[in-house]
Amino acid sequence: MASEKEKMLQGELYDASDPELITERQRARELVETYNRTAPDATEERRDLLGELFGFGGEDAYVEPPLRVDYGYNIDVGEGFEANFGCVFLDVRSITFGPMCLLGPGVQCYTATHPVDPEARAEGLESGEPITVRENVWIGGQAVLTPGVTVGDGAVIAAGAVVVEDVPDRVVVAGNPARIVRDLT
């Protein structure tokens, strides 16, 4: 029988109150709190903490505190990744950023979701769907990426946009729900 963590990572319904998952979220919160208290010039300390927190690529990432994550190890960032103040990553599944991705302040990436059926939701189970952000994407401040979306190469997500569907390469999307407002080809 699969553990709750295995179910979570496979996108199945799982119990987030499982002791192993609680311990892992606590570890992530401790690392994030340490990160959020670092001095602005603590470049090496920040790099080390992100390298320990992220699944892959924290070594050259630039992330302005404060930062919030669920687990951290499900976040992979490419070379040149930058995130401004106050980003939130609910990473019960993978959140993958390709090279040269830029995030404005308050960007939120949610892989976590709950059953739509109220009876199933009342059981307290949740699941998740991965988020993929390809290469050279700019995500404006306060934008939200919802479970399961993929953002194409060179795309721009306007500030405040709520992305609920995949975004093609080289377009600008805006609004709630986000819609294509400009082609960049």
Omega prior to 118 cis, within 30 of 0: no
Annotated catalytic residue within 7, 27, 29, 114: 114
- Per residue in 32-50, pLDDT (tens digit) is 999 999 999 999 999 999 9
How far apart, in Å, are the Cα atoms of 48 and each of 83, 102, 110?
A: 16, 20, 25
Q: Which domains does the chain have, with CATH numbers?
A: 4-183 (2.160.10.10)
Q: Which of 66, 74, 75, 23 is nearest to 46 (CA)?
A: 66
Joined together, the tokens standing for residue 50 give: 């992100």
> Angle, nearest 10°, between helix axes 19-36 and 43-53?
170
Q: Is 114 a catalytic residue?
A: yes
pTM to 2 decimal places: 0.96
- What is the per-residue pLDDT across 72-98, written as a single tens digit (0 to 9) for each? 999 999 999 999 999 999 999 999 999
Distances (CA, A) of 170 to 72, 79, 101, 135, 151: 28, 19, 13, 10, 10
* Residue pLDDT, tens place only, 117-130: 999 899 999 999 99
Please report the pLDDT score of residue 169 as a whole number.
98
